[in-house]
Structure 1
Amino acid sequence: MAYTIQHQEAASRGAFHIHQDGKEVGEMTYSRTNPSLVVVDHTYVDPSLRGHGIAQQLQDALVAWARETNNKVIPVCSYVKVQFDRDPKIRDVLA
């Protein structure tokens, strides 16, 4: 199932969010170190929805956003680090 992903950034912090029935069920957060570099530090998916591809959809949104905005990514979050290790097609956004 595809979810609507919202992105927001304020000051040096940002996040991608997924909501279902008005409740946040997934989040991927980052902090900005400079105008073109972000550190992805956390991914959360509601326990009842784990295994449904929500974290992958959040990461896909992050990668698409990084490409569109010429941002580079440093993955600190363990989930994101593993995904970058597994998928060479997304490594173009790595710092």
Structure 2
Amino acid sequence: MTDAPLNVINNKTTHRFEVQLGDETAFAEYRLEPDAIVFPHTVVPPAFGGKGVGGLLVQAGLAYARELNLLVKPTCPFFHAYIAKRPELHALVHPSMRDGLVTP
């Protein structure tokens, strides 16, 4: 495999942000609600290890939330942890999900 840039695509049919690497697909599922976007599940296969793909998926999801003017419900542990470590992102989170964002 080459070191081609990894591109995140929004597959609106499956409601997933996806990155392809050979035959493997990393993805972050999402569900739209009237005032929020829910991120329930993220999968990053071992082939993507060390390439920052999980972060790329979160960044794409947050950009989409901003584009649609939606708050984020990070029910996926990876999304939650990513956002929790970055206080500048906390304002994007739906008020019902802000508990636990503060990290020690």
Match of 2:19 in 1: 18
Bigger strand share: 1
Distance in 2, Cα, partners of 1:36 & 1:54: 27
Normalising by structure 2, report the TM-score.
0.76
Amino acid at match of 1:17: E
Are residue 5 (structure 1) and residue 5 (structure 2) matched? no
Match of 2:30 in 1: 30
Amino acid at match of 1:55: G
**Structure 1 segment 56-95 matched on structure 2, within 5 A:** 56-95=55-94
Question: 8 Å contact 1:17–1:24 — kept in the other structure?
Answer: no
Distance in 2, Cα, partners of 1:79 & 1:85: 10
Secondary structure of the residue that 2:12 maps to in structure 1?
strand
**Unaligned 5+ runs, structure 2:** 95-104
Amino acid at match of 2:12: E
Distance in 2, Cα, partners of 1:24 & 1:5: 13
Q: Which protein, 1 or 2, shows the higher relative CO under an 8 Å CA cutoff with sep ≥ 6? A: 1
Which string of whole-angstrom CA distances, capped at 9 and with x for unpartnered residues, describes residues 35-93 of structure 1?
33121111111112223200000001111111111011111111111111100122232
Distance in 2, Cα, partners of 1:31 & 1:18: 18
Normalising by structure 1, report the TM-score.
0.82
Secondary structure of the residue that 1:92 maps to in structure 2?
helix
Q: What is the root-mean-square deviation in Å for CA atoms of aligned residues?
A: 1.8
Deviation at 1:19, TM superposition (A): 1.0
